[in-house]
Amino acid sequence: MGLKAAVVLCIAIIVVVAVFGVPGFWTGLVGLGLCLASSSSRGYIYVAMSTIRRDLRCLFVILKVKKSMYHHLQSKHTVPELFIQTAVKHPNKTALIYEPTGESWTFGVLLEECYAVAHWALGQGWREGDVVALFLESCPAVVPLWLGLAMVGVEAAFINSNLRQDPLLHCVSVSGAKALVFGTELADALQEVSSSLEPDILLFCCGQEQKEIKSLHIHNLDELLTRSPKHKPNYSLKKDFNNVLFYIYTSGTTGYWICSFGVLLCSRYFRISAFGFHSFGLKSSDRLYNCLPLYHSAGTIMGIGQCLLFGMTIVMRRKFSASRFWDDCVKHQCTVILYIGEICRYLVAQPVRQSEAQHQVRVAFGNGLRQSVWEEFVRRFKITKIGEFYGATECNCSLINIDGKPGACGFNSRILPSFYPVRLMRIQENGEMLRDKQGLCVPCQPGQPGMLVGRINNTDPLRRFDGYVDKDSTNKKIAHNVFKMGDSAYISGDVMVMDDYGYIYFRDRSGDTFRWRGENVSTTEVEGVLSSLLGHADVAVYGVSVPGVEGKAGMAAIGHTGGSFDLDTFLINVKKALPSYARPQFLRLMSVVETTGTFKITKTKLQREGFKPQNSSEKLYFLDIRADRYVEVTSELYQDITEGRVYL
């Protein structure tokens, strides 16, 4: 028996006796040690012994979540049913707290509000499978809206509250919504597109100050829900654990042409929430601080899911505030915080305040926390545990950094690589996956950059890929003949690298996507928008690094010869066409944007040169957010930006 086979056999024995309570767990562990000690492959021995505790811990979490999922699958449970069970257990416990108003909802009240929404939906004549679009900023009312709709099989479509004009119209259109619910805070955005909305779409407004929009008939949803019954409706839901719960805005695109709604089943909602709960040692008695937008999966699944499924109290803030963050945590006795990497950087950059030493937070979990910020964040705020996770809303190849390895977004077991069928596969210079002589993808060895893929198995709730509303977008994320001939796998699109112990880290994104302000930005889509605005000029869009700033700032190189370039008009049009995070932070006006022999724009050199002034014949501009205009990048401004004296 080879070394690896012996290791796998011993680990399998350990897992069995540990999971099923068979005596001899420690005997098996000793046996594994002896097996490894007798081998001459010292490097493999060291890796195995160094990672076995991590791997077994994650294995137990996977088995625990999988067991629960199969139970709910067989029982045909839905997320609304699971929430009802949670609410009935402790109706008087606080479910949601909202800042800055301090408003709180108990589980009992939240359940009644869900029932009111369900009765309202039935009264509208909507049926299972009908869609209602939600266009609101984060607030407690969002939760009973989508959850109450789901109780009668109506599917919410979350729309990014940053979208305006054409992108907003596109998302409303592709959602196929029969109705749109919007918050009063976004009435102006709706006013801008009022003349282009489908004439038969119903409009409902919620919020304290109702606003009229000319030429549109708008219903006051708050009044309707006040009059709606608050008892369980007499309705038998036909959906089960593997049916659609809602559609959620995904940040893979700007939302201009390509559909940006991931399909969320009840099973996927449970899986994401449960992995967070069990992986990072969360408890029902915890209080979680959630200031992330609810149109994203992190905020509404990984965050709100802890409340709905596990009875945790959630403290919500409408928008992230670095200056109020720790004050809120202290005020509401929060023990867990949910972040994206940018949030942690902002907190570290804040001046020291008294509340940061008075909080009770023991766990911080989220994604995108880079190593340099990670270590300072833990040291300064004395957080006991950091939990990183990776995974797009719709993907089947999620990763978890379960043991707090700084900088890693997750790991792949070096001992049991086949138990969880997720791999880094080698890529070529053009971004395509490398294939062997048989036509199969080639797994990465430590240090080799690759793309994360997950084998698709639609009979396994952990391996499903349900895709997007748009079938073309779904097909683009699927590769065939990956692990073996005839199979299929989801392609993450993110370039990563693995170290000797299986920890996985992001590589710089130099392809079609970069991340800014917690959002993924599609360079091809932004290029299309800008080219159209500029009369089909050559445009190259890419992300550039800014010292001390999380993610990549968008930069556009524009082919412009002769005449003046109207920066003010350009910015006005860009603000109409693109959400704030997709707007170029830097502009580079060039006589010619270089292309390859096949007319593909070359971006590598442009990225390397960044936004530093170099060529006197070219002009570089920076989007000054506070002045709301593009200003020329001088040597002095470049230095101010790189040294952190200018706000991006």
Residue where the block lists tokens 């499924």:
309
**pLDDT for 238 beyond 80:** yes
The ranges assigned to domains in the chain are: 3-64, 77-83+104-267, 409-509, 514-643
**pLDDT for 41 beyond 90:** no
pLDDT digits (tens, 9 = 90+) for 124-133: 999 999 999 9
pLDDT level of residue 6 (50, 70, 90 thresholds): low
Element (H, E) at 310: helix 304-310
Lowest mean pLDDT among 91-95, 521-525, 540-544, 578-582: 521-525
Q: Give pLDDT, residue 5.
A: 54
Q: Give pLDDT, residue 19.
A: 44
pLDDT level of residue 27 (50, 70, 90 thresholds): very low
Supply the DSSP string of 466-493, one letter for each residue: --BSSHHHHHHTEEESSSSTT-EEEEEE
Q: Give pLDDT, residue 214.
A: 74
**pLDDT for 106 beyond 60:** yes
* Domain with residues 514-643, CATH architecture: 2-Layer Sandwich (3.30)
pLDDT level of residue 15 (50, 70, 90 thresholds): low
Question: Running DSSP on this structure, what letter comes out for residue 421?
Answer: -
pLDDT level of residue 508 (50, 70, 90 thresholds): low
pLDDT digits (tens, 9 = 90+) for 362-391: 999 999 887 878 999 999 999 999 999 998
Token pair listed for 221: 């949803």
Q: What is the mean pLDDT of residues 39-64?
A: 83
- Domain 77-83+104-267 fold is Rossmann fold (3.40.50)
Lowest mean pLDDT among 32-36, 86-90, 119-123, 349-353: 32-36
- C-alpha span between 583 and 254 (Å, rounded): 10
**pLDDT for 509 beyond 70:** no
Give the strand pairing for 179-183 and 202-206. Answer: parallel
Helix/strand/coil (H/E/C) assignment for every residue in 522-543 = EHHHHHHHHHHHCCCCCEEEEE
Q: Give pLDDT, residue 536.
A: 67
**pLDDT for 215 beyond 80:** no
Q: Is the sign of the CA dihedral 501, 507, 511, 515 positive or negative?
A: positive
DSSP H helical ranges for 39-135: 42-75, 79-89, 107-123
Q: Give pLDDT, residue 44.
A: 77
pTM for this model (two decimals): 0.82
Element (H, E) at 175: helix 165-175
Give the strand pairing for 513-516 and 179-183. Answer: unpaired
Q: Give pLDDT, residue 213.
A: 77
Residue where the block lists tokens 């968008």:
554
Distances (CA, A) of 340 to 53, 367, 411, 453: 27, 5, 19, 23
Q: Give pLDDT, residue 439.
A: 95
pLDDT digits (tens, 9 = 90+) for 574-633: 998 888 889 999 999 988 887 544 345 567 788 888 999 987 778 999 999 889 999 999
Q: Give pLDDT, residue 601.
A: 58
Q: Give pLDDT, residue 193.
A: 92
Q: Give pLDDT, residue 251.
A: 54
Q: What is the mean pLDDT of the chain?
A: 87
- C-alpha span between 279 and 400 (Å, rounded): 8
As separate numbers, helices (DSSP H) first and strands (DSSP E) second, the chain gives 20, 28
Give the strand pairing for 586-590 and 619-624. Answer: antiparallel
pLDDT digits (tens, 9 = 90+) for 303-347: 999 999 999 999 999 999 999 999 999 999 999 999 987 789 889
Q: What percent of the chain has pLDDT over 70?
A: 89
- C-alpha span between 408 and 377 (Å, rounded): 15
Q: What is the mean pLDDT of residues 174-194?
A: 93
The type of residue at 156 is A
Q: Which of 396, 364, 359 is CA-nearest to residue 377?
A: 364
Q: Give pLDDT, residue 3.
A: 55
Residue where the block lists tokens 């340099």:
372
Q: What is the mean pLDDT of residues 466-472?
A: 81
Do domains 409-509 and 514-643 share one topology? The answer is no
Q: What is the mean pLDDT of residues 150-173?
A: 91
Starting at the earlier edge strand, list the strands of the sheet with 261-265.
218-220, 202-206, 179-183, 131-135, 155-158, 244-249, 261-265
pLDDT digits (tens, 9 = 90+) for 398-446: 899 999 999 999 999 988 777 778 899 999 877 789 999 999 999 999 9
* Domain with residues 409-509, CATH architecture: Roll (2.30)
pLDDT level of residue 31 (50, 70, 90 thresholds): very low
**pLDDT for 554 beyond 60:** yes
pLDDT digits (tens, 9 = 90+) for 62-98: 999 999 999 999 999 999 999 999 999 999 999 999 9
Q: Give pLDDT, residue 593.
A: 80
* 3-state secondary structure at position 153: coil
Q: Give pLDDT, residue 647.
A: 81
pLDDT level of residue 165 (50, 70, 90 thresholds): confident
Q: What percent of the chain has pLDDT over 90?
A: 60
> What is the C-alpha end-to-end distance of the chain, expressed in Å?
58
Q: What is the mean pLDDT of residues 33-46?
A: 57
Better pLDDT: 251 or 499: 499
Give the strand pairing for 155-158 and 131-135. Answer: parallel
Q: Is 184 exposed, middle or buried (0-12, 13-18, 19+ CB in 10 A)?
A: middle
